[in-house]
Structure 1
Amino acid sequence: MKSAAIDPYAALQKLQGGERSRLTDAVAEALREAIVTLALEPGMMIDKQAVCERMGVSRFPVSAALAKLATAGLVEVLPQRGTRVKPIVIHDIRQHLFIRSALEVETVRGLSSTRSDATLEALAANLDKQREAVAKGLPHEFHPLDLAFHEILLDAIDLPRVKEIVATSRGALDRARQLLGTPERHIHTLEEHVRIFEAIAERDAEAAAHAMHRHLDEVIAELRRFASERPDLFEE
């Protein structure tokens, strides 16, 4: 986690003048990025004036942006106290992982009997890049490769609505993913991806389903371990 001495608003950039609605969207996107990347930590009270000064905007777009983020479940208004970054809710994480597990387990189960050589080649190439990112200690390169691995699987079954639902649930896990983005977790993720790939390559539907299930279960298990160390960032 970052040092308390670091300005949590440092990543916010000053905006140029523009229409009120566009300013609101720009402020909301900047604050969302700061929240998702944990520059603004779960449980932290948001200093509206600091945001205004940093981004060069009035209080209106900041207040409107925070209202949008509240609807998205990233911040919450505490009566007579102000607005804070919403703690990561373990129960919400479990629900989104349940959705992902239900859909992605069935994805690999079905794909094991229908996969094409092109899909296997795409997965193998992706895994090679994952290995390189892990070997070189490049976490910022590993994350998009992790996402791409799952997208290759979802694209292969050609069910756009399923992919859309998975993407929505995956987006809700962004903050949790940042907390677990350690070199050790990346090594384990790579190993889990390899097991999924090997089962699909061998047309072993049950092994593929089991490997995907274990892969997603590990996320909630590691989050619970992390929550025991930093309970201030979480709510049950």
Structure 2
Amino acid sequence: MERSLRSAIVALDFAPGEFIDKAAVCAALGVSRFPVSEALARLSAEGLVEILPQRGSRAARIRLLEVRESMLIRQALEVMVAETAARHLPSRAIEALRSNLEAQQEAVSRGDRPGFHTLDLEFHMILVEGLEMPRVAAVIDASRANIDRVRRLLSSPRRHVVTLAEHREIFRALETHDGPAARRAMEAHLEAVMEELGRFSVEHAEVFVQG
């Protein structure tokens, strides 16, 4: 129940600011209103749902301050991971990244937005898992809900082509064991997302909360 609602919100099935029809959710999931209300309350505590007395519940608008904080956490960890991976990533992980990039190219060619998003996440997780850093992976994953919504909002054929090029730059540095280059490439990749978010948030201010 809660997992289904969270996935729907993160996947933008409910757009930021859109009211959630409890009756429709109950009918779709075959449950009563009470467990739906409980799930929405828990998602409210996570910042994914906004409960408005006498009005209902809606998918929370995205708080830019929280996204920036989450991205800072992610940048601090992932640039370190990239630099470390250039020196210590095992060959099986390098081959997994190579296969992932090939699949990314296929997704771009097909215009497969959900597929590309999944492969994008996988590319980054291969690095952490290849280095056997479960606690780092857990921190990155915990900061991901609002970031994932942002990445889906920014999703476009142009953005996918750019992201694939950035991933290839990271891969080249990893393959040649160039730690500083891997760090720079990862920094540039994550900073590009924040720059695009800045432009998007001005153009679509109704989706965001500034504070």
TM-score, length-scaled by structure 1: 0.82
Structure 1 or 2: more helix by fraction: 2
Tell me how large the CA RMSD over aligned residues is: 1.8
Q: Output one character per residue of 1:109-135: Cα deviation in whole Å (capped at 9) or x when no partner.
A: 112122333232221121111112112
String of CA shifts for 1:172-222, please: whole Å, max 9, x gaps.
422112112211111111000001011112222111101101111122211
Give the direction of change, closer, same or farther, for the CA distance of 1:57–1:110 in structure 2 (3 Å limit).
Answer: closer
Q: Are 2:204 and 1:233 aligned?
A: no
Which of these residues, 142, 157, 168, is aligned with residue 194 of structure 1?
A: 168
Shift of 1:223: 1.5
Aligned amino acid, residue 108 of structure 1: A
What is the aligned partner in structure 2 of residue 86 from structure 1?
60
Q: What CA distance in whole angstroms lies between the structure 2 residues aligned with 1:116 and 1:151?
A: 14
In structure 2, C-alpha distance between the alignment counterparts of 1:142 and 1:37, rounded to whole Å: 13
SS at match of 1:44: coil
Contact 2:10–2:146 (Cα < 8 Å) also in 1: no
Is 1:125 the counterpart of 2:94? The answer is: no
Identity of aligned residues (%): 46
1:30 matched to 2:4? The reply is yes
Letter in 1 for 2:144: R
Number of aligned residue pairs: 210
2:62·2:209 contact (CA, 8 Å) conserved in 1?
yes
Task: Give unmatched runs, 5+ long, in structure 2.
Answer: none
Q: Within the alignment, does 1:101 sit opposite 2:75 as a pair?
A: yes
**One-letter amino acid of the structure 2 residue matched with residue 212 of structure 1:** M
8 Å CA contact retained: 1:93, 1:220 = no
> Structure 1 runs of 4+ off > 6 angstroms?
none
d(CA) in 2 for partners of 1:82 and 1:119? 47
What code does the residue aligned with 1:70 have? S
State which of 160, 173, 176 in structure 1 corresponds to 2:150.
176
Higher relative contact order (CA 8 A, sep 6+): 2
Structure 2 counterpart of 1:146, from 112, 115, 120: 120
Q: Which has the larger radius of gyration?
A: 1
Using the TM superposition, give the Cα deviation of residue 232 of structure 1 relative to its aligned residue in structure 2, in angstroms: 0.8
Task: Indicate which of 34, 39, 54 corresponds to 1:60.
Answer: 34
Distance in 2, Cα, partners of 1:111 & 1:57: 46
Q: Distance in 2 between matches of 1:157 and 1:174?
A: 23
Q: 1:58 to 1:188 in 2, by over 3 A?
A: same
Counterpart code for 1:32? R
The one of 26, 45, 51 aligned to 1:77:
51
